[in-house]
Structures are given as C-alpha cells and as structure tokens.
Structure 1
Amino acid sequence: MTIQKMKFGMFLGPFHRIGENPTLALDRDLELLQWIDWLGYDEAWIGEHSSAGWETISAPELFIATAAERTKHIKLGTGVIGLPYHHPLILTNRMILLDHLTKGRMMLGVGPGTLLPDAYMIGSDPLLQRKRMAESLDIIMRLLTEPDPITYKSDWFTLNEAFIHLRPYNTPHFPIAVAASQSPSGLILAGRHGTGVLSLANLSDSFASNLNDFWKTAEDSAQQHNKKVSRQEWKLALQVHIAETRKDAVKQARKSAGFLQREYFEKTLGFPPMEGSSDKIIDQMIETGQCCIGTPDDLINAIHHLDEMSGGFGGLLIMETELGNREQVRRSYELIARYVMPQFQDSIRNLKQSIEWSKAKAPDFAELTKKTINKANKEKTK
C-alpha cells in the first residue's frame, strides 16, 4: 500500500426513499453514525441539499452539531456545502462555532453545489457556480489566516472591513476539503490552497487514467501556488455493501440499487437510463466498477486495486445509499471494521509477527514444557 494508515469513513447524502417517515429516517442516520463511531470509523461527511426529495439534510452543520453530542471520537464534515449559496463571512463564522462545539472534530467540505434544482430555486446561475466557489474559498481562507480586516466587493457578496471575531478551535483552522469529481476545477482549487480532496471512485480499469490525472492536476496547482497537497488527505467515495457471502450481499442490495437508480438518478435527476430491468441494475453496477458488493475480501481487493490505479489515496468513504435494510447496513459496516480496516491501518502486523514467531518456537517451547513437567514430577517423588 502507498498509504501506511488509511482512514475509513462514511459519505451520507443521505438517500431516503419517498414514502417513509422522514423524521425516523433522520433518526436512523444519527443511529448509524453512533454505530460507526463505536466501531472506530474515522470520519463522516454530511451532505447539503434543499430539493429533489431524497437527500433531506439541508443544513449539515445542524446535523453535525446533533451528531457530535451523540458520538465520542468520529470527525464530522460537511459533505459538501455549496459555497455559492452562502455569504463567506457568515459561513466561516458558523463553521468556527461548530469547530468549538465539536471540540475540534469538525471538517469543512466545500463544492460548487451539485443539485441544479437547489440553484434554480434561489436564482443562482449554474454556469457561474464554479467561479463563485473559487471566489468564496479564497475569501474563507483569507478570513481564517489573515489578521487584518478584509474589504471586498463581488457581484454576489460584499465585505466591509470584515474579520472573524472567534478564532477556530483547531490551529490554524479546521481541516478543509474540496469536492472534485466531474471537472478539474476542484483539484485546481485544492492545490491553490493546499486542502484535502473528496472524489468519487470507480473500480473499472478505464478509470485509472482519470485518477492519475486528477491527482497530478492538484499537485501541479499546488506547485504553482507554493502549496502542498497530501495524498493522505485524498478521500475516495464508493458505494459499498458487505455481507458474509457475495451471494448474500448482492441479494440484499438488488432491490434497493435498482430503485435508487431508476427513481432518483434517472427520473428525479435526469441521468441517462441504464439498460435492462431494475433487478439487473446491481449486476451492471458491479460489472462497470460503480460499487463493491461482496465480502470483506472483495473490499480488501478493491481497495488495493484503487490504490494501484490512483498511485495512493488516504481514505475510503462508504457512500451510504441504504443498499440493505437497517440490520444489514449495520452488519456491513461491522464486517468492514472487523475484517477490512485492520488490513490498512497497521493494527495487526505485530499480532501476525507474534503468531509466526510463536509457531516457529513452538517445538522448542513444547520440549521445554515437557522438561519442566518432568522435573516437577521428579521433585514431587523425592
């Protein structure tokens, strides 16, 4: 592995079917966060969406504040906040407050805004969103790092002698990551500021060149701006569902995967339709590398494959799309924590070494034990 200790986390949109109780669905999200916190996952990224029905968290910072009170260790990030939808000073102050309330467990993930209905409803021009995202992040970084007040006028926000009145809990500030999937703009921006990167992953070999080109774009941008980007802070998100057998995993995910593709991605968002019946969609997804559905060993192999394709990345984020029922989803995360995470976090190397050492010494120790018992028996008969 290129990365010695990989992080594991969850990317929570969330994706909830229309028709069920939305309050209970949010409670289930919080319950799942508590579960993966107990299992030892490193981080969770929470989405921001205001339309399209499925992804029901419109204020990730509020969700994070609630989750922070119910968890102990896991870091919690916005995944991601659409910067063109927020005034940068107000957003920065909110994130600083959250940094304090979580005692430093907060992370800021940013993007241009992904759902066009969100942009449409507030009159934000999608063609300007990447430009505005870059402009906003420039200001946010200045607010976090420069002591002097900032005066700045944009075509969509104004700053008059603006500065933050509360320093971040983290020094010099909370971790920041830029979403980068469909264009190089996010990687260029991450390189310009030396931030982390959040990307979508695909297991297909044809995707390898994209991953290599992606990271090179970030490195080139960082070099141009005298910054550094770390592969350790590059997180790849992938749909994953794990069970004891591959057959069980596919069976559990079959119905949900087809429903999600047809009802959300195709009918709601307008994605090109996948061919075939809904119950065959999961097979196409597996074949084209869009997900890892199988056993812990299948995911171990998939991570090694992603590592080879990318040249090294720092964390795997499970894109939580509820491919099973409540118990099956919880079991999937448990299997990953028990059998996958240790393979990439250097937590069992010494145990393996100890076992092999003991096996090699076993004949000698057995002989010594025999001699010790014989000696004790002789002394007893005296």
Structure 2
Amino acid sequence: MTPLNPLSPNLGDFDPATIKFGIFQAPYHPLNGNPTLQIRRDIQLAQVADELGFDEYWMGEHHSSGIENIPSPELFIAAAAERTSRITFGTGVVSLPYHHPLLVADRIAQLDHQTNGRVILGVGPGKLPVDAIMMGIDPVDQRRMQGESLEAVTRLLRGEVVNMETDWFTLKDGRAQLQPVRPEGIEIAVASTVSPSGSVLAAKHGASLFSLAAGDKAGFDALDRNWDVYEKESLANGYDATRRNWRVVTPMFLAESREDADRAIRRKVLHHTDYLEQVSGVTFPWARDAQSATDQLRGEGWPSFGSAVIGTPDEAIEAIEALIEKTGGFGSFLVIHYDMADWDATKKSYELFAEEVIPHFRRSNRGRVASLQYHNAHAAELGAGAAAAITKATKEYYGEGAAVPLR
C-alpha cells in the first residue's frame, strides 16, 4: 500500500492522517496560585479539549514538590469524564510501586465502566524521589517494583486468578470483580524516556509504548532506538508491535506570533524555573529573566522539561513533522501542558492547534482545496459559461436589445 501523503520516502505505509492528538497534564501549576481553581481549570481544559476534537487527555500522579498538585489521576478522570462525551482519558501515569496491584486493577476497571470504555491505564515507576521516600520505598527499587506490579495488574485485568508474592505485596487467589467494558480489554501504556527499560517492559506484557521525553534532546535521539527495542522484544514475547499504539509527547504553547506567545507566558514562566532550581539545587543563568527563560525553553531546553515549541501553529507542524521523520510514524501526539498563561491565552493555544495543526495532518481540507484548484484551472471557461447564462436570462426577459449587466 502506498501512503496517501508521505512526508518522507522512509515512512513506508505510515499515513500521518491517522495520527491522534491529545493533551498530557503533568500537571505543573505555579505555587502562588489557588490550588482549587487550578484543579477546576484542568477539568475545564478537558472539556475544551473534548469540544475541540482532541482524542485523548492524560493526567499524572504526584505527591510532592508542590507544583504538581494532582495526587490521584483516577479522581480527576472520574470528574472530567462526566463533563465530556467523546474524549478518551489516560492515567499519565499511575506510579505502580505506590499501590497494591489489586487496587490498581480494581480502580481502573471501575473507571472503565464509569467512562463507558474511555480510559487507558498509563503506568510508570514514579518520577519524584520524595514521593517514594515518604512511603518508605527505596528509589533504586522502583523499576523492579513496577515490573512486578505490571505483571499482576495485566493478569488481573485479563480475568485471571493471581497468586503472587513479592517483598512488598501478596496476592492470594486475587481476582478483579469488574472486568473491562470492551472485549479487547483496557489498553495499558508503559512510560518510556531515554533508556530502553520502558520499551522492554511494555513489550513483555503486550502494552503500548508511551515516549514521555520526545521534547528532550536525549529523549528525541532515543526515539527510534527505543522503538526498535520495542519491536524486537514484542516479537520475542509473542506480540505484534503496532505504531498506532505508540504515543509521543512534547510541550507546546501556541499563539498568533512568537511575540504573542512570549507575552502570554511572561508572568508565569519564572515560577517554573524556580521549581527547577529548587528541586535540582542548581542555579541556572537563564532562570532570572522571563525572556531568557523562554528562549532557553524554546532552544536547548530546560532540565526535566526538555525543549518546547513556544510560537505559532506553523512551528508546531514543523516540530511534529520532525518527530515523524525521526520515528517513522506513531499513533498519537500529545502536547505536554504547562500552566504558563492565563485561561484565555491557554484556550487560544489549543484552539489554534485544533484549527490549524490537526487539520494539516489529517488533510481535512483536501476536498475543499481540490475544489478551489479545479475552479482556478477552469476559471476562463467557467467564467464564460456564467456570463453566457446571465446574457441568456437577461435577453429572455427584456428582449434582444437589452443591456446585459457585467455581473
């Protein structure tokens, strides 16, 4: 099969028109804001995304550092799902070492029913060391614990009775009472950053791949390598790797111009750089001035955050095309949402993305463009035909000697 509109001869059968689009909430919120209103606006943003035609909305789990103030993605999704009708929600991510696997399976199964099948279980080991330390977990053990939990959760969601004992949980004839809404079950996505560990774990359990660090230089460089690992390991474990279940994530904030984008994030951007300095214990030379911080984010990027598109829809299109070229194609592109602008500018950013970026890849207007091109190519004969019709109608009514209007 030949792709309809390949961006590169290296893309094979991948068609960019099949890409889904979504929003990924870490979530990052300035410490001087009202946390109640911040959470309410996140729910409103899910509603906006649903109305604008985005396909997915993801919410993360964090328990420390202050700026990421959603501890339960499941509670958030339960509220947002009641205010939306079509968008799919993902946990981005549930930190598996923090929970008994039976509770993870039970909660996501209930959420699957409450959303009528509009939920994806995104999982990871946990990002912030303080989260783990507060629970008495050695951060060195988190990836091992994630693998042990994922094995149990996957089997429970498949309807198996699970007997399993580790140094941190026991399942004795464990079973999930609720089974998924859809026969194909609940999709599970495993977070991957730079190392191949996420790809290996996802492939082992037939889960989807979730590349969280595509905006980071090291993460971008690792995209194709990690996909190759995922394909190889999936085959070794008896699964078919499919690009439609690969999600790539990078930050973007859009406006009518770069200058407008810079102005929109000026008041809040330094709250985020202050967070970076405090959690890392490092002072960054570009973190004292809003424009310098913005230029750094747009260019080389920030630690942990990576690089972002802070600019126009055309720049967003160019960045996504670069990701497609690098990877050979993926199923979904997610915009990491940073709370950096006021509500109106935030909505405008996603409106521009929905209005100009999504239609570019889906080729939504190809019929309209073709119609105008046809009209242009036949303008002379079409114009002559229209003029002849006007002349005929005028003369039929007024007689042969009547003056014929030009239009």
Count residues in correspondence.
Answer: 379
Equivalent position of 1:362 in the other structure: 379
Say whether residues 1:100 and 2:110 are aligned partners. Answer: no
| 1:172-202 deviation per Cα after TM superposition (whole angstroms, max 9, x unaligned) | 2122111111422111111122222222345
Residue identity matched to 1:4: A
Look up the SS of the partner of 2:310 in the other structure. Answer: strand
| 1:77-135 deviation per Cα after TM superposition (whole angstroms, max 9, x unaligned) | 10000011111112101101100100111111000011111100111111111111111
Q: Distance in 2 between matches of 1:208 and 1:23?
A: 35
Work out whether residues 254 and 281 of structure 1, in 8 Å CA contact, stay in contact via their aligned partners in 2: no
Work out whether residues 269 and 293 of structure 2, in 8 Å CA contact, stay in contact via their aligned partners in 1: yes
Work out whether residues 5 and 346 of structure 1, in 8 Å CA contact, stay in contact via their aligned partners in 2: no
Once the two structures are TM-superposed, the CA of residue 329 in structure 1 deviates from its matched residue by 0.9
| 1:304-331 deviation per Cα after TM superposition (whole angstroms, max 9, x unaligned) | 1111122222222111112211111111
- After superposition, residues 283-322 of structure 1 pair within 5 angstroms as 283-288=295-300, 290-322=307-339
Q: Distance in 2 between matches of 1:209 and 1:10?
A: 22
Residue identity matched to 2:17: Q
Q: Which has the larger radius of gyration?
A: 2
Gaps of 5+ in 1: none
Residue identity matched to 2:210: L
Q: Distance in 2 between matches of 1:107 and 1:373?
A: 60
Once the two structures are TM-superposed, the CA of residue 266 in structure 1 deviates from its matched residue by 2.1
Residue identity matched to 1:374: T
- After superposition, residues 91-240 of structure 1 pair within 5 angstroms as 91-147=104-160, 149-202=161-214, 208-240=220-252
| Cα separation, partners in 2 of 1:43 and 1:197, compared to 1, 3 Å | same
RMSD: 1.8
Work out whether residues 11 and 319 of structure 1, in 8 Å CA contact, stay in contact via their aligned partners in 2: yes
- After superposition, residues 326-337 of structure 1 pair within 5 angstroms as 326-337=343-354
Residue identity matched to 1:328: A
Work out whether residues 48 and 58 of structure 1, in 8 Å CA contact, stay in contact via their aligned partners in 2: yes
Q: Distance in 2 between matches of 1:156 and 1:74?
A: 36
Residue identity matched to 2:223: L
Once the two structures are TM-superposed, the CA of residue 208 in structure 1 deviates from its matched residue by 4.8
Residue identity matched to 1:144: L
Once the two structures are TM-superposed, the CA of residue 20 in structure 1 deviates from its matched residue by 2.2
Equivalent position of 1:7 in the other structure: 20
Q: Distance in 2 between matches of 1:264 and 1:321?
A: 13
Look up the SS of the partner of 1:12 in the other structure. Answer: strand
Say whether residues 1:264 and 2:264 are aligned partners. Answer: no
Give the ranges of 4+ consecutive aligned residues of structure 1 lying more than 6 Å apart after TM superposition.
Answer: none
Once the two structures are TM-superposed, the CA of residue 298 in structure 1 deviates from its matched residue by 0.8
Work out whether residues 258 and 282 of structure 1, in 8 Å CA contact, stay in contact via their aligned partners in 2: no
Gaps of 5+ in 2: 1-6, 8-13, 302-306, 400-407
Residue identity matched to 1:12: Q
Residue identity matched to 2:312: T
Match of 2:356 among 319, 322, 339: 339
Once the two structures are TM-superposed, the CA of residue 206 in structure 1 deviates from its matched residue by 6.9
Work out whether residues 30 and 268 of structure 2, in 8 Å CA contact, stay in contact via their aligned partners in 1: no
Residue identity matched to 2:276: F
Residue identity matched to 1:228: D
Work out whether residues 202 and 291 of structure 1, in 8 Å CA contact, stay in contact via their aligned partners in 2: no
Match of 1:282 among 294, 310, 321: 294
Once the two structures are TM-superposed, the CA of residue 273 in structure 1 deviates from its matched residue by 4.0
| 1:146-165 deviation per Cα after TM superposition (whole angstroms, max 9, x unaligned) | 54x22111111111112222
Work out whether residues 208 and 310 of structure 1, in 8 Å CA contact, stay in contact via their aligned partners in 2: no
| 1:57-94 deviation per Cα after TM superposition (whole angstroms, max 9, x unaligned) | 11111110000011111111100000111111121011
Equivalent position of 1:81 in the other structure: 94
Sequence identity percentage: 40
Work out whether residues 316 and 357 of structure 2, in 8 Å CA contact, stay in contact via their aligned partners in 1: yes
Once the two structures are TM-superposed, the CA of residue 255 in structure 1 deviates from its matched residue by 4.3
Q: Distance in 1 between matches of 2:239 and 2:110?
A: 27
Residue identity matched to 2:393: A
TM-score calculated relative to the size of structure 1: 0.94
Q: Distance in 1 between matches of 2:217 and 2:95?
A: 31
TM-score calculated relative to the size of structure 2: 0.88
Match of 2:81 among 50, 60, 68: 68
Once the two structures are TM-superposed, the CA of residue 56 in structure 1 deviates from its matched residue by 1.3
Work out whether residues 30 and 67 of structure 1, in 8 Å CA contact, stay in contact via their aligned partners in 2: yes
Work out whether residues 104 and 169 of structure 1, in 8 Å CA contact, stay in contact via their aligned partners in 2: yes
| 1:325-351 deviation per Cα after TM superposition (whole angstroms, max 9, x unaligned) | 111111111111101110112322222
